[in-house]
Every structure is written in structure tokens, then in C-alpha cells.
A = this chain, B = another copy of it.
């Protein structure tokens, strides 16, 4: 097990319905040693690839994407879930159903910040059904940029997202790939 997997096994909380709670170190309180490890590992796996920007979606993807962008020395772009009064009106957008929030979010990115000259690494905290990654891939394609690949901290290997996105020919790297979780015994196993 790598240090993210060890952390999930020790400090993750598993709830009925295959819920993996990692709010103590990844997506509410965020442990910088863990984030640093994830970022180094993602950068290592994509070393040698030309990457011009890291793309994620607010909010819990931002911490990891920031650390990855620092490793790669490229800018980080985060898709927004709502149009604010200050934002450009000219955007690329795609819908993503959030199982955590129980609603569909429209992910949007200003057209000024992504273009066909870009080579995009898509980063997020979780991959479950793949809704967020699929929307971010869609936005990248709309812009004419190329998708170098995707990288997530945690993939729920027992859900369909990984299969769907890899099935479309995209590279997906997961730093912890969960095979299954048992909320009764509070145990987890990895692929």
C-alpha cells in the first residue's frame, strides 16, 4: 500500500452505500503530506508528457490540482459550477450529475482560458461514476485542446467511471484504486 492507501485504510470512514469518507485528510480538512504525495505521484506518472494546463472542477478538486500544477510548473484552471456576476459570459460548458450533492451541475470554463494550443491534464479527488471527468473531457474537446489524460486521488474501482473513461481511450491514473469497502467491519481493499 502507498501512503494514500494506508491513510484511507487507517482514517477513512466507510458508510452504507459504498460511501468512502475522507474528509479528515482529503476533501474538507486537507493533509499537505498526503496532497504532496498525490501530486508527486501524478507528476511522476505523466512525466515526459507535454502538459500546458491542469484542469479540475471546484471545490474539492482544487487543492490536489494546485499541488499537481505546482509540481508541473503549469497553470491550474478550475471549472465553476455557477456563473458569477464577474465571470465572462462566453464559456464552454457541460453537465455533471453529482451523487454527493444529489443534483446536476453545469460546469463552465471561460473560453479565454483554454484553447486548441493546450494539452490538458484533468485532475480530481474522486472517480466514481465518472460524471465530473466526463464533463471536463467534454469541455476540453469543445475548446479544441487535447486531453493528455486524467488523474484522480481515489478511484472507486467497483463503480463504472474508470471503465467508461478508459473505454473511450483516455488514460486514467488513480493513486488509490479501491476494490471494495465493508462498512460493517470498516475495512477497505485496493486493486
Bound-complex Cα distance A98 to B38 (A): 33
Residue of B nearest to A15 (CB): B86
Known contacts A66-B66, A113-B24; is A101 also within 8 Å of B78 by CB? no
Cβ proximity bits A37-81 to B, threshold 8 Å, 1 near / 0 not: 000000000000000010000111011001101100111111010
Chain B residues with CB under 8 Å of A35's CB are 66, 70
Instruction: Report, as a range, how many residues of chain A touch the other chain.
Output: 35 or more
> Can you tell how many copies of this chain the complex includes?
2
Is the CB–CB distance between B113 and A28 below 8 Å? yes
A6 at the interface (CB under 8 A from B): no
Q: Top 10 A-B pairs ranked by shortest CB distance?
A: A58-B59, A62-B62, A59-B59, A29-B113, A66-B66, A63-B66, A30-B76, A84-B100, A29-B77, A32-B70
